[in-house]
Amino acid sequence: MTPSPRFADEIREAWLSFFEERGHKRVASSSLIPHDKSLLLTTAGMVQFKPFMLGEEKAPYRRATSVQKCFRTTDIDRIGITDRHFTFFEMLGNFSFGDYFKREALQWAWELVTEVWQLHPDRLWVTIFEEDDEAEQIWHELVGLKQERIIRRGKADNFWDMGAAGPCGPCSEIYYDRGDKFGSGASPADDETRYVEIWNLVFMEFLRDDAANVVGELPQKNIDTGAGLERVAMVLQGADSVFEVDTTLPILKEAQRLTGVRYRSSESSDVSLRVLTDHARASAFLIADGVFPSNEERGYVLRRIIRRAVRHARLLGAEGDVLTALALATVEVLGGAYPELKKQAALIERVCRTEESRFKDTLATGLEHLEQALERLSPGDVLSGEVVFRLHDTYGFPVDLTREVAQERGVAIDEEGFNAHMAEQRRRARQAKRAQGSGVSEEALGVFKEHLDRFGPTAFSGYERLEDRAKIVAIVRDGESLEMAGVGEVVEVLTDKTPFYGEAGGQVGDVGRIATETGEASVIDTTHPLFELTSHRVRVEKGALFRDQGAHLVVDAVKRLRTTRHHTATHVLHWALREVLGTHVKQAGSLVAPDRLRFDFSHFEQVRPEELFQVEQLANSKVIADQPVITFETTKDEAERLGALAFFGDKYGEIVRVVQAGDFSRELCGGTHVHALGEVGPVLVLSEGSIGSNLRRIEAVSGEAAVKRMLSDRRLLSGSAATLKAAPEKLMERVDQLLAELKAAQTETRRMRERLASQQAATIASSTQVSDVKGVRFVVYHLDDTAEGLRDTALRLRDSHGIDISVLGGVHGGRVHLVAVSSKRAVEAGLQAAQILAGPARLVGGGTGKNPELAVGGGPNTSALGSALDAARKEILDSLKSAR
Ligand code: SER
């Protein structure tokens, strides 16, 4: 019989070939950075196969086997305390995508464990999901395992999911009994140290949602198994823990050497040595796969484990860069199986060293303060949120670490208080930001000044080229100079030279990309925090950028060209405005962007439309003539002699740059410009207005933006012409004609209304409904008309027919309209129109005004019209009765 595998290399190979012989495709480990967006890091062998299990993607093979790099954050706090948990570990796996199921999976597992690994069946136990009779039957009847070795457990232990929405299912685990040296439990159910889980077999047949509810069955039944390589090695090598096998022990030994502390000399130093071993391995693998320390997501996970390792190295009394050295030891130990470690060795060293040395300083000061605070507390006390916050805010001491150190003394931290302080700080930061606008803080300015002194001005190559190679001389964030910036971070990057145009003279800063050997960032803006210094505001999107690295800088050419067109157009418009309006026109400011330009200038009145039209015409004639645009440098005096225009708000040195457009415009300008005027394309002024006394602003577009605008204007024009049934060139005529027709129709309507009102008034005045009480003539009358119709009629009743009070009411347009008019005489007698109408208006669901002579009211209640009119009549009669 061939001997059982022993070392990791042998275990991996034996596993893969065992399953290969059984029709499985050997698949390489996927990256620790998963494609699956629901996970931060790859946590299991099945992660790369998830779409196959869900049936979302057709699997190119029905069976697969792999050795997967895994990282689990769930156990971070346990690392070091137990002898079998890791953040990073290797997982041996075999998978079926709708192919074989339970029977084969369990039988093969047994075969591999007992025949390949040659573990004695007496030492093996299995667990199954409490409802899974089928698994029990297979283990007992087909495999031949004794009933008492099969333990049923509930959902918490034997139902596996990814911790996120996705495939899930009951599982069966294989345990190995390490003997009574490790514990006295009777079975895996009560002792998971002595009985160590070595293999988990999941029967993936269900689907769960985000809230961990099982929501259905998968379209197919899958198998997903995972065995922790280090645990298997521990058993096969007879090691006491997973930290003492051939993929970990050399690192642990190196940790002992560097710290001078022996393993197994004390419980607490053992924890630290184990933490160092695990975190160093994990850091090396994470960095090799492209994770960099940062304050977000997986970058934060890496930062956290590096910092935790640094603290444990310190606890052991070590001074040097222990974590860095151990990460490099990892490259030695595992670089054969994982060539990416070797390939990225330099990067691993650099990232670890940067983060480690940076944090060592923070740690020393922070710990000192924390110690002082803890001295005053005893176990069971709570460390105030304010202290935790101050440690975080002033000393950059991570809250995780504060929690951990406090916990070691039996002290809890006031999480709520800490969060409240954090929230308050965020609020203050927001306020400060608002107050400060986009300006650079004093602190940041200091850093920039220092860089300018040290490295001199940034050379600008962007007049000639849009791509360049340069060196990163500084990375700055919040006034702090950094060694590096990782994914997700937004920082200022300074280079020795740059093709990026920094915002100046109204022209917006360039955007684009910066790439280095280790990372990529998008440039969101380019500015001059100081006159001669260019700063790229970037968001790191891949990997990390480091100080002193060579970088490839690429300007977004499309945006730059659009901006450039607008800049030259600004010069042309400036010239044209002076031609048309006079030389008193002086530039007072401008904005030159990819999509538009804005030009502010001095002028004493509104620019008339025909003047604007002239300006546009002149500008476009210059563009079409396509004369060259040239730039040259000269002395300030010479430029002045040449009549070059210089403007408000711009700073100029002794040597100035002159932009000469054709033979007509010369301006001092540092901006980017086209080489021939034709490139500007059409120039369109979109608006003109006042922005202050004697200050005007025009907005204009050129190039693509102008073409786009003209095309959409033309669509609008032809659309309108079609609607009005006119040829586009006859549109104005047609509109004038329609306006005239409309006016005539309105006059006619008014005339008709008046005639109608007088007819209605005559009819009402001669009706029997006009009453006379005590010499007061009044009428209440039902008339269906518009509110205006009622009003005109009522006024006529008063003015032409001598009626003192008329109340008219009727329905029009689905609403009740009511009008009351009182003569002067009636008002004097106490019969005010508003008062008379108030009650009736309420009845129809509305109100009325306060005018004593004329009240208009109404409401939606059409069925109440009759009673409203009756009420009006009663009101008049009652008032008359009480009148003198
Ligand atoms: N996905 C399961 C686990 O991680 C089996 O591989 O335990």
In tens, the pLDDT along 814-838 reads 999 999 999 999 998 889 999 999 9
% of the chain residues with pLDDT over 90 = 74
pLDDT of residue 833: 95
Tokens of 328: 């490099």
Query: Does pLDDT of 536 surpass 90?
Result: yes
Ligand 1 centre from 90 Cα, in Å? 12
Q: Tell me if 68 CB under 6 Å of ligand 1.
A: no
Give the mutation target among 29, 43, 75, 224 for probing the ligand 1 site: most ligand atoms within 8 A of CB: 224
The per-residue b/e assignment along 237-272, b for 16 or more CB within 10 angstroms, e otherwise, is: bebebbbbbbbbbbbbebbbebbebebeeeeebbbb
The predicted model gives 354-383 an average pLDDT of 88
The predicted model gives 495-499 an average pLDDT of 96
The per-residue b/e assignment along 494-523, b for 16 or more CB within 10 angstroms, e otherwise, is: bbebbbbbbebbbbbbbbbbbbbebbbbbb
Confidence band of 877 (pLDDT split at 50, 70, 90): very high
Query: Does pLDDT of 495 surpass 80?
Result: yes
In tens, the pLDDT along 98-118 reads 999 999 999 999 999 999 999
Can you count the helices (H) and strands (E) in the chain?
Answer: 25, 33
Short-list 531, 359, 396, 399, CA closest to 456: 531
Q: Tell me if 398 CB under 6 Å of ligand 1.
A: no
Ligand 1 centre from 161 Cα, in Å? 8
pLDDT of residue 651: 52
pLDDT of residue 366: 87
Q: Tell me if 204 CB under 6 Å of ligand 1.
A: no
Query: Does pLDDT of 371 surpass 80?
Result: yes
The alpha-carbon radius of gyration of the chain (Å, integer) is 43
Ligand 1 centre from 330 Cα, in Å? 25
Ligand 1 centre from 249 Cα, in Å? 25
- Among 200-204, 294-298, 626-630, 648-652, the minimum mean pLDDT is found in 648-652
Confidence band of 248 (pLDDT split at 50, 70, 90): very high
Confidence band of 438 (pLDDT split at 50, 70, 90): very low
In tens, the pLDDT along 20-78 reads 999 999 999 999 998 887 889 999 999 999 989 998 888 889 999 999 999 998 878 77
Ligand 1 centre from 93 Cα, in Å? 8
pLDDT of residue 440: 56
Q: Tell me if 246 CB under 6 Å of ligand 1.
A: no
The predicted model gives 430-457 an average pLDDT of 67
Give the mutation target among 225, 229, 231, 232 for probing the ligand 1 site: most ligand atoms within 8 A of CB: 225
Query: Does pLDDT of 439 surpass 80?
Result: no
Q: Tell me if 277 CB under 6 Å of ligand 1.
A: no
Q: Whose CA is nearest to atom 3 of ligand 1?
A: 226
Q: Tell me if 93 CB under 6 Å of ligand 1.
A: yes
The predicted model gives 233-243 an average pLDDT of 97
Q: Tell me if 869 CB under 6 Å of ligand 1.
A: no
Confidence band of 432 (pLDDT split at 50, 70, 90): low
pLDDT of residue 648: 45
- Show the beta-strand stretches assigned E in 419-532: 459-460, 467-477, 480-482, 484-486, 490-495, 497-498, 512-516, 519-530
pLDDT of residue 441: 61
Give the mutation target among 129, 202, 203 for probing the ligand 1 site: most ligand atoms within 8 A of CB: 202
Ligand 1 centre from 160 Cα, in Å? 7
- Among 433-447, 527-541, 618-632, 682-696, the minimum mean pLDDT is found in 433-447
pLDDT of residue 26: 95
Short-list 520, 517, 513, CA closest to 486: 520
Q: Tell me if 197 CB under 6 Å of ligand 1.
A: no
In tens, the pLDDT along 134-183 reads 999 999 999 999 999 999 999 999 999 998 889 999 999 999 999 999 99
SS3 at position 648: coil
Ligand 1 centre from 287 Cα, in Å? 24
Q: Tell me if 44 CB under 6 Å of ligand 1.
A: yes
CA dist., res. 88 & res. 32, Å (int) = 10
Tokens of 77: 């706090």
In tens, the pLDDT along 613-667 reads 999 999 999 999 999 999 999 988 888 888 888 764 455 667 889 999 999 999 9
Give the mutation target among 75, 92, 160 for probing the ligand 1 site: most ligand atoms within 8 A of CB: 160
Short-list 49, 98, 436, 45, CA closest to 229: 45
Q: Tell me if 681 CB under 6 Å of ligand 1.
A: no
In tens, the pLDDT along 548-588 reads 999 999 999 999 999 999 999 999 999 999 999 988 888 88
State the closest ligand 1 atom to the C-alpha of 46, by its place in the atom list counted from 1: 1
Q: What are phi and psi of 812, to 5 degrees?
A: -150, 130
In tens, the pLDDT along 665-697 reads 999 999 999 999 999 999 999 999 988 767 899
Q: Tell me if 259 CB under 6 Å of ligand 1.
A: no
Give me the chain's average pLDDT, please: 92
Ligand 1 centre from 225 Cα, in Å? 6
pLDDT of residue 222: 97
State the closest ligand 1 atom to the C-alpha of 160, by its place in the atom list counted from 1: 2
Residue of higher predicted confidence among 368 and 278: 278
State the closest ligand 1 atom to the C-alpha of 202, by its place in the atom list counted from 1: 5
